[in-house]
Structure 1
Amino acid sequence: MVSHIATVARKDFDDASRSKLLWALIGLLVGMVVIGYAAIWYVVDDASASEVLGFLGFPLQTLVPIAALITGYMAVVGERRSGSIKLLLGLPPNRADVVFGKLLGRATVIGTAIALAFVTALVLSSIFFGAVPLFALVEFGLLTLLFGVAFVGFAVGVSAAVATRGKSMAIVVGSYMLFVALWELVTAGPYRLLYGEGPGTEPATWYLVLEQLNPLTAYTTLATEIVEGTIPPFTFQYGLESFEASQMTPAERYAGEAPFYLQEWFGIVVLLGWLLVPALIGYYRFSRADL
């Protein structure tokens, strides 16, 4: 059976390039890089080109997921809402082609914006700081690309799994709020109830596993291995665990040699999981949906 994933992806990307979406994302990410480099060059004395990459970790982990979720949450359900899904499925593409073609197309959109942002960072690094940490810049760019595509995969999966725009928006917004604003409450809260105290610097292993599953934690843990300095995850803190503990990686908080699923590299598996598992679940539900 011939796959039409590439055809759907190409049309999806072409549609995005003719809309304001792609250009808004490019403007958002490139503008953030320009402002970041200019501000650091002006404010911070003796900052190196390598250190600036670390400073970019905070705005990137904030803006990239939002941009990716906006890019993906209407990918499939928007076609169902307009009725064009019946026309699309009347052509050679089948339901698998639609879901994974949309995923590839929307991933290309966010990937284009991220690539241009890092090309801008390369140019500004040379202009403002007279040096380019090329290897670290490429590694950090590829990691950020995976981070963004993971959120696209999640959003497209949600979009394929539900029948209305409202449900899709509610799930992606609620999930983002869980990762950013509620994560400590839903992980450290039960920990305190079970053990009578908040998680310290060496908590139970199950708690560290939950921490590793947050895509923000996975991204910042991996990014810290690439750039100079530490990039803590941008998550709300409620005092259920100490500030010192919240700045440490799951591997650093494990007593002894950390098992493979708590080591830094496992963050790649976590991000791939957020990319693939929701997309597969979304396809499963979409393949059985009555259109």
Structure 2
Amino acid sequence: MSIRSVAKKDFLDVRRSKSVWIVSGLYALLVVCFFYLGQSGPTEPNVVYQLSYLTSIGRVFIPIIALMMVYLAIAGERESGSIRYLLSLPNTRRDIVLGKYLSRGAVGASVILVAFGVGAVLAVLWYPSLEPTVFAGVAGLTVLLTLAYVSVAISISAATGSRSRAMAGSIGFYFISNLMMLVPSFSIVAALKYVLNGRLELGLSDYLFEFLRMLSPTIAFKKAFPLVVPSEVEAFMVNADPSAPAYLAPEVAFAILIAWLVIPAALGLWQFNRADLG
């Protein structure tokens, strides 16, 4: 076997999972609800604004979808002992990690693209204009956010030897990188700012703390939106500050999001290569 063979087999296994179908259906239903409510509101329907509302909610739910689909990809095999069977075939540990990363990433991306495909059909039926460039850009960024959390979940799964540890690691990462980052004044970074500036009186720049917050894949996703939305919607999306330093630019946020696709998976592979599988 090879990376391709592992990915193909795992893709077929994941495709049969009821949980994947359930979360896919729920996300598609969420898309339908947002586009329906948007076209029946008191103001003229606007696809761009509906996409912005959808992604605001998606920042909470999409990481859950990705983590749910992936966290047992390798940890489950290790706990059940089936990992030995995979390695008894002509597979390397790299084949297993990368193959499962590719398969789970393909499933996650498919979930997002199908949901956005449904949204595109509804936009054509219910809205004055589809805004195809913006629509495609938002869909692409959403796929990248999904793949970032797939990479994280693969890393956690590869680095842990049991279902419980993989679940705990995934839940912990979700809270730290997502729920505890979304609201600036109640985030982990705000607590760090209170300690460093409020208690120790170091006088560090607010921009520095905002950059630390942008290291979260969810916040990087949000901050990259000016790259794909019209300029008149930009302030509505991210409250852009024209005086902000270059390291807070949307291009930097996009680069951070891309880094999340690669670095966690590489670290997971490194840890998996060192693990004693018994």
TM over 0.5: yes
- For 2:3 and 2:80, how far apart are their aligned partners in 1? 21
Residue in structure 2 matched with residue 286 of structure 1 by the alignment: 272
- For 1:55 and 1:181, how far apart are their aligned partners in 2? 17
Residue in structure 1 matched with residue 38 of structure 2 by the alignment: 40
Q: SS at the partner of 2:90? A: coil
Residue in structure 1 matched with residue 257 of structure 2 by the alignment: 271
Instruction: Show CA shifts across 1:180-227 (max 9, x none).
Output: 333344212222233238xxxx93443132022011111111124423
Contact in 2 for aligned 1:221/1:231 (Cα 8 Å): no
Aligned-residue offset at 1:166: 1.1
* Counterpart residue type for residue 279 of structure 1: A
The 3 A distance-change label for structure 1 pair 45 and 205 is closer
Contact in 2 for aligned 1:57/1:231 (Cα 8 Å): no
Q: 2:136 aligns with which of 135, 138, 142?
A: 138
Residue in structure 2 matched with residue 94 of structure 1 by the alignment: 92
Aligned-residue offset at 1:269: 1.7
The answer to whether 1:12 aligns with 2:4 is: no
Residue in structure 2 matched with residue 177 of structure 1 by the alignment: 175
Contact in 2 for aligned 1:54/1:230 (Cα 8 Å): no
Q: How does 1:219-258 map to 2 (within 5 A)?
A: 219-227=221-229, 229=233, 248-249=239-240, 252=242, 254=244, 258=245
TM-score by length of 2: 0.89
Residue in structure 2 matched with residue 103 of structure 1 by the alignment: 101
- For 1:279 and 1:54, how far apart are their aligned partners in 2? 29
Q: SS at the partner of 1:276? A: helix
- For 1:142 and 1:101, how far apart are their aligned partners in 2? 22
Contact in 1 for aligned 2:38/2:46 (Cα 8 Å): no
Contact in 2 for aligned 1:51/1:227 (Cα 8 Å): no
* Counterpart residue type for residue 253 of structure 2: G
Residue in structure 2 matched with residue 240 of structure 1 by the alignment: none
Residue in structure 2 matched with residue 242 of structure 1 by the alignment: none
Residue in structure 2 matched with residue 56 of structure 1 by the alignment: 54
* Counterpart residue type for residue 139 of structure 2: G
Residue in structure 2 matched with residue 152 of structure 1 by the alignment: 150
Identity %: 31
- For 2:42 and 2:147, how far apart are their aligned partners in 1? 32
TM-score by length of 1: 0.85
For the aligned residue pairs, the C-alpha RMSD in angstroms reads 2.3
Residue in structure 2 matched with residue 27 of structure 1 by the alignment: 25
Give the stretch that moved more between structures: 71-80 or 185-194.
Answer: 185-194
The 3 A distance-change label for structure 1 pair 191 and 50 is closer
Give the stretch that moved more between structures: 14-23 or 76-85.
Answer: 14-23
Give the stretch that moved more between structures: 124-133 or 149-158.
Answer: 124-133
Residue in structure 1 matched with residue 213 of structure 2 by the alignment: 211
- For 1:145 and 1:17, how far apart are their aligned partners in 2? 18
Contact in 1 for aligned 2:178/2:216 (Cα 8 Å): no
**Structure 2: which 5+ runs fail to align?**
none
Aligned-residue offset at 1:106: 0.3
Q: 1:189 aligns with which of 188, 191, 211?
A: 191
Instruction: Show CA shifts across 1:35-74 (max 9, x none).
Output: 1111122234212223222221212212111100111111
- For 2:190 and 2:154, how far apart are their aligned partners in 1? 30
**Structure 1: which 5+ runs fail to align?**
234-246
- For 1:105 and 1:253, how far apart are their aligned partners in 2? 42
- Structure having the larger proportion of residues in helix: 2
The 3 A distance-change label for structure 1 pair 289 and 13 is same
- For 1:26 and 1:185, how far apart are their aligned partners in 2? 29
Aligned-residue offset at 1:138: 0.8
